[in-house]
Amino acid sequence: MSATFAIGDVQGCYEPLRKLIAALPFEPETDRLWFVGDLVNRGPQNLETLQYVRDLGPQATLVLGNHDLHLLAIVFGGKTPQNSDTFQDVLASAHCEELSHWLRTLPLIHQDREWVLVHAGIPHIWTVNDACKFGREVESKISGPEYVSFFENMYGKYPDIWDKTLNGMDRLRIITNYLTRMRFIDEDGRLEFAHKTTLDTAPAGFRGWFEYERERAKTIVFGHWAALDGQVPTDRVIATDTGCVWGRGLTAVRLEDGKRFHWQDGVVSCQI
């Protein structure tokens, strides 16, 4: 029987990624690797990470994260790198454009069998099918001929709440922010961007996006929120980001049985 290993935010941590995959009970002919997005930024080996994951070919399923989109906004949208960005190795590479166009082909959300893969999460005001449908609207812009305009106008915190009558870039921006930037959200679906730490820091009126009652059709696999350290107080949601880029290790979750494989400081540990 095939297995699916969901791997948390790599963020340029190429060596931990190689060591973690080498330690997995992974069969290349039958098993799959799922990446929750944020392949790049903050870590030291972004170019190697992109090339390695791309070269995995059909063994790997990926979705885009906010840091991946940030790289594309610099490459295609004319945005200026931030002082904290570490993907200068990608920007300086002769393969930068090739890799960036490959990233443009990746989705924001992927569903298969019992699970749905997304970088930040799915707001409780949407069903999984809603999220996939809306995600395709953004994907068509990123992968289509209007990608430069999208990346020129992607950034912004507003609108910060979904309205089905939204159109144009406002509609694309709120979809993108739900799927790639969301942490705290209110009952009506309004996003809050300032707080990025643990659930007990939630501002008044806001909760973690997964703490609301929602459709339970599929288990949501996500990354993005390193402060959770891979732990969420609810079922049908799997958190994979354990803060490798902050020195806390890289985690892969075997979705079929929930077993976790965690690489840190040269050691791989396993737990259910």
For 234-265, how does the pLDDT look when each residue is reduced to its tens digit (9 = 90+)?
989 999 999 999 999 999 999 999 999 999 98
Predicted local confidence at residue 266, as pLDDT: 84
For residue 258, give both structure tokens: 């929930």
Over residues 202-225, the mean pLDDT reads 95
**How large is the average pLDDT for residues 55-73?**
98
181-202 per-position pLDDT tens digit: 999 999 999 999 999 999 999 9
Residue 265: predicted pLDDT = 86
Q: What is the mean pLDDT of residues 22-37?
A: 96
Looking at the DSSP assignment, which residues form a beta bridge with residue 191? 185
Whether residue 272 is predicted with pLDDT greater than 70 in this model: the reply is: no
Beta carbons within 8 Å of 55's beta carbon, 6+ residues apart: none
With CA atoms as reference, report the closest residue to 4 among 238, 215, 247, 268.
238
pLDDT, tens digit, 9 for 90 and up, residues 95-116: 999 999 999 999 999 999 899 9
CATH at 213: 3.60.21.10
Average pLDDT over the chain, rounded to an integer: 96
Q: How many domains does the chain have?
A: 1
In this predicted structure, the answer to whether residue 167 has a pLDDT above a threshold of 80 is yes
Share of the chain above pLDDT 70, in %: 100
Query: Mean per-residue pLDDT for 34-58?
Result: 98
Structural domain of 123: 4-271
Residue 270 scores a pLDDT above 70: yes
Could you report the per-residue pLDDT of 109-148, keeping only the tens digit for each?
Answer: 999 989 999 999 999 999 999 999 999 999 999 999 999 9
DSSP codes, 122-185: --TTS-HHHHHHHHHHHHHHHHSTTHHHHHHH---S-S-S--TT--HHHHHHHHHHHHHH--EE
Instruction: Tell me: pLDDT of 1 over 90.
Output: no
